[in-house]
Structure 1
Amino acid sequence: MSEQFDLVIVGSGPGGYVAAIRAAQLGLNTAIVERERLGGICLNWGCIPTKALLRSAEIKHYLDHASVYGLSAGTVGFDLAKVTERSRKVANQLNAGVKGLMKKNKVTVVEGVATLTGATTVKVGERTLQAKNVIVATGARARELPHLKADGERVWTYRHAMVPPAMPTELLVIGSGAIGVEFASFYSDMGAKVTIVEALDRILPVEDAEVSAFVEKALVKQGMIIRTKATVDKLDVKPDGVIATISGEAKAFSHVIVAIGISPNTENLGLEALGVALDRGHIITNEWGQTNVPGLWAIGDVAGAPWLAHKASHEGIVAVEKIAGEPHAHPMDKSNIAGCTYSRPQVASVGLTEAKAKEAGYEVKVGKFPFIGNGKAIALGEAEGFVKTVFDAKTGALLGAHMVGAEVTELIQGYVIARQCEATEAELIQTIFPHPTLSEMMHESVLDAYGRVLHI
């Protein structure tokens, strides 16, 4: 006998579990299937525990530089096992929180590996779940190449890097996207000598070129070695380290982190037998999350870029509201999704870069304001960074915003709201920003784009 539901969700990451909660709110009898831990990769092995690690490194950095603030902290040490333990406790607390949310919303949790035996039929062990609709939210995993395989001892993926068996002394990070740069930042602040290798011509290649250049300069100043337009051709793993061949040159490292992107978890789900359209392993969907197979939906990393938790959550809400026939359901707009990198310095952005805006044919007005011109940044001892805004010169529409420096991952949402509300420079200029705050730089950047900047 099959169990009957209105909706079955395969995968309980930030896309899946948020979709389940919204479905329950809308009165849908919902089940969610998870093969490992509720909360998925983000909560257990990604977004949240990495921020716990980075927080430990940030505090260590401040203690190391206590004298700048007129304080003395003596010799600063750390216990790597306890740093890791704190990170895992944070993940476990949130995992328990998701369990509580599922119970509160009366979502049926099914543990095990799911297979689609039909567009709306899910097999989990001996159980068969039948639904009116199924959402695939199986996420993704670290991408590996045959010559860059992780062993968990000397060569790590992000997952290994969160529970390190030992502290690296000489660390090679392959890839300079958000994940690579964040781990490079963490281990550098904890005392490792870090080298980043990037195949493209700059690190953080999806960010504005000025932001990338600023971050590279900051990381080099911190002691990192950065090699762009370079590739790791071979890893020769030894008992006491790794010999990496980088563009023909051999160099020794104690450990390696491979951060070269992700691969979608679409294997062995039964998608091919159903004729589900795929693009390089990712499930193709429309703006509502619908696949080409009626009744089957997909959200999150498995459905393609950008591979961000908040994108997955919103896609889940969009899909569920469409399924439930909500009159105010809205299609997904990926142009207003912010990207954040929690390194030191932090990076945050939304919308088009200056280069992309020009490529798209816009005549632009660009404003820029440095942290050194902001009183709060100086008082915090965080006077390095800038805020950059890009406007359509004809309409005043905010095309993009790009920020680098302390706490910009918290500030960026102001620009996201502005874009969502279709604000122009006029509304932003007329907005009163509180003083003293870092957010004043957001205002000054807008003013600068229109020749009205006040504090530089």
Structure 2
Amino acid sequence: MKVENYDVVVVGAGPGGYVAAIRAAQLGLRTAIVEKSELGGICLNWGCIPTKAMLRSADVLRLMRQASQFGIKAAEPEPDLQAIVARSRKVAAQLQRGVGHLMKKNGITVINGHARLAGRGRLSITSGSAETHVAAKHIVLATGARARSLPGLDAQADSVWYYREALTPSRLPKSMLVVGAGAIGIEFASFYHALGVEVHVVEMADRVLPVEDAEVSDYVAQALRKQGMTLHLGSGIAGKQRHAGGWNIKLDGTGSKEIDVEVVLVAAGIVGNVEGLGLEGTGVRVEKSHIVTDSYGATGEPGVYAIGDVAGAPWLAHKASHEAMVCIEKIAGLQPQPIDVNRIPACTYSHPQVAHVGLTEQQARDAGRPVRVGKFPFAANGKAIALGETDGFVKVVFDADSGELIGAHMVGDEVTEMIQGYVVATELETTEAELMHTIFPHPTQSEAMHEAVLSAYGRGLHY
């Protein structure tokens, strides 16, 4: 049997895998990538990108409904679900083709099939009944993760949705229970509520978006309730009964009650794709469905690495891509800087949007750090008022001794585009002095970022 030899073989072509392959090729390493499904992985095809396309449609719908506030006369808009879905799938398909072009441009061999370790430096790849083998000095596992399934709630196109069903609905239900109030759950809740669905959200934690700063979580919860969503926090599913019209769900905890909904949408976390990789008998260690690595992606098995969602939290596409570059550059003999998780931004594209980088106020206090906290509401920002987008605020957390910016938290319109300013600041270990001295353009929503810094030191100007 002929065995092709490579310097690097990447397993999985998501935002971690395909970036790893590109960087390896750039560094002159003979590279192949194995993907059993679609180039771009879940993120591009069934996650980050198509959800944002659908949420954009929801944003347009909201804005059109508010047209009269801007002096515009327009007929009452109606969502066209199938057109929204079709646009979302078209966007994903366009980007998938783009990844294919990047593989070709960089001279990367693309192999379709399921790969598993087959001895030191070897992979067996199956596609249908065919099996091939490849050899590589370095094997990078970037197999990603999948939605955590719940017992008794298997995916059903008519009544139980996970992300795939939620992205390709054939109908718009009248009512829905979203299980999980993390970023994915709240994004889907925002989308379907905008289209007129009665939305309930159940969450075991006592607040929505539990990883966010408590003030941000509280603000989002108030906003969602004001929009008309029903939140069942500190609650779980105690019982469920399928009936002709959907589901009868019994909730326990602080929100004990029964509700009837047409569809249950499950967004209760993710599980790493570690099965079928041939990890048995190797030095690769798995904990809670995720592969354990060092700060450069190396596992306990020589020549085997893992990056992205399969390597653990935070489960973010941009974290996977950056891990890919760090891993490959280390393989190539360079000296990359390991990722500092406190400098990885996170965004939720709900309505309102949420973004953060660094420590929450509570995390900083729990770590024993003296803090200075500043806040500024968009209601006092000229550009936000002109846009009619005055909900939300910017919050910053500084180390009181050194003045270093150690956390930034935002909720409001397009804050996911604004957070990068603070991300750069944290990477540069910026203090309040540099941020105060920085000139922010007027009129922009970003001025709220400057004002929040000033507020932390008692120098706020416009609030």
The TM-score range, normalised by the shorter chain, is: over 0.9
1:183 aligns with 2:184: no
Instruction: Give the aligned partner of residue 24 of structure 1.
Output: 25
* Aligned mates of 1:363, 1:148 — CA distance in 2: 46
Matched letter for residue 432 of structure 1: I
> What does residue 71 of structure 2 align with?
70
Matched position secondary structure for 1:211: helix
Paired AA for residue 249 in structure 1: K
Matches within 5 A, 1:48-197: 48-125=49-126, 126-197=131-202
Q: What's the secondary structure of 2:402's corresponding residue?
A: coil
Tell me the SS of whatever aligns to 2:235.
coil
How far, CA to CA, are the matches of 1:73 and 1:120 in structure 2? Answer: 64
After TM superposition, list the pairs within 5 Å mapping 1:393-432 onto structure 2.
393-432=400-439
8 Å contact 2:6–2:135 — kept in the other structure? yes
**Counterpart of 2:442?**
435
In the alignment, what sits opposite 1:9? Answer: 10
Whether the 8 Å CA contact 1:154–1:237 is kept in 2: the answer is no
Pick aligned residue for 2:370 from 352, 355, 363: 363
What do the CA deviations read for 1:179-228 (whole angstroms, capped 9, x no partner)? 00000000000110101111111110000000000000000000000110
Which one of 301, 306, 309 corresponds to residue 293 of structure 1?
A: 301
Q: Following the alignment from structure 1 to structure 2, what is the Cα–Cα distance between the partners of residues 353 and 298?
A: 28
The residue matched to 2:294 in structure 1 has which SS?
coil
Give the aligned residue type for 1:316.
Answer: A
Does the residue aligned with 1:118 lie in a helix, a strand or coil?
A: coil
Identity of aligned residues (%): 57
Deviation at 1:119, TM superposition (A): 4.1
d(CA) in 2 for partners of 1:119, 1:320: 19
CA distance in 1, matches of 2:450, 2:158: 48
Unaligned runs of 5+ in 2: none
**Residue aligned with 1:94, SS:** helix
Deviation, structure 1 residue 250: 2.5
Change in CA separation of 1:159 and 1:119 when aligned onto 2, cut-off 3 Å: farther
Deviation at 1:370, TM superposition (A): 0.2
What is residue 337 of structure 1 aligned with on the other side? Answer: 344
TM-score normalised by length of structure 2: 0.97
Q: How many angstroms does 1:442 deviate by?
A: 0.4
1:252 maps onto 2:264 in alignment: no
The separation in 2 between residues aligned to 1:55 and 1:133, in whole angstroms, is 40
Structure 2 CA distance, aligned partners of 1:342 and 1:88?
18
The TM-score with structure 1 as length reference comes to 0.98
1:301 counterpart letter in structure 2: D
Question: 1:306 & 1:5 partners in 2: Cα distance?
Answer: 30
- 2:355 alignment counterpart: 348
**What code does the residue aligned with 1:127 have?**
T
User: Per-residue displacement from partner, 1:425-452 (whole Å, max 9, x unpaired)?
Assistant: 0000000001011111000000000110
Q: Please list the CA deviations of residues 379-436 of structure 1 after superposition, one character each: whole Å capped at 9, or x if unmatched.
A: 0000010000000000001110000000100000000000000110000000000101
Give the secondary-structure state (helix, strand or coil) at the position aligned to 1:427.
helix
Q: Does 2:237 correspond to 1:225? A: no
* Alpha-carbon displacement from aligned partner over 1:117-155 (angstroms, at most 9, x marks no partner): 124211112211100000000000000121333223201
* One-letter code aligned to 1:78: P
- Give the conservation status (yes or no) of the 8 Å contact 2:283–2:299: no
Counterpart CA distance in 2 for 1:179 and 1:233 is 22
**2: CA distance, partners of 1:235 / 1:166:** 22
- What is the Cα deviation at residue 233 of structure 1? 2.0
Give distance in 1, aligned partners of 2:152 and 2:159: 14
* 2:245 counterpart letter in structure 1: D
Note the residue ranges of structure 1 that are not aligned, 5 or more in a row: none
Aligned to 2:310: 302
Q: Residue 285 of structure 2 contacts residue 299 of structure 2 at CA under 8 Å; is this kept in 1?
A: yes
- After superposition, the Cα gap between the structure-2 partners of 1:307 and 1:119, relative to the gap in structure 1 and judged at 3 Å, is farther
Query: Match of 1:44?
Result: 45
**Structure 2: distance between partners of 1:119 and 1:378:** 62
CA distance in 1, matches of 2:172, 2:346: 29
Q: Relative to structure 2, which stretch is displaced further, 403-412 or 149-158?
A: 149-158
